[in-house]
Amino acid sequence: MTLFTQDMIEDDENEAGIHLHNIVNAVQCWSVMQNRKTSVAEAALTFNTTPEIIRTAVEYGFWMSLECDEGENDPAKQFIGLDGE
């Protein structure tokens, strides 16, 4: 199975395909529905993508943030923070 990578994300000019805002919404919805802390690694596995795409989605998500120690690079130790829980 091939991972969904950055070059597969459509820019906003194209109508069809998966756009970053689709990934942002999906990650946020999925993370909320887990009813527990979720890691970047777990989300990447769930969405068949790279940790970089999950981090980007979290960065662009208005209600999400990355929760980890400063300089932490291990996606299993980077958690998706959700505001308004």
Q: What are phi and psi of 4, to 5 degrees?
A: -80, 120
**Cα(27)–Cα(23) distance, rounded to whole angstroms?**
6
- Structural domains in the chain, CATH included, are 6-82 (1.10.10.10)
Between 80 and 13, the more confident residue is: 80
Record the pTM: 0.84
What's the pLDDT tens digit per position in 8-40?
Answer: 676 666 666 778 889 999 999 999 999 999 999
**What CA–CA distances, in Å, run from 8 to 13, 65, 77, 82?**
14, 23, 26, 26
Q: State residue 70 phi and psi, 5-degree precision.
A: -60, 130
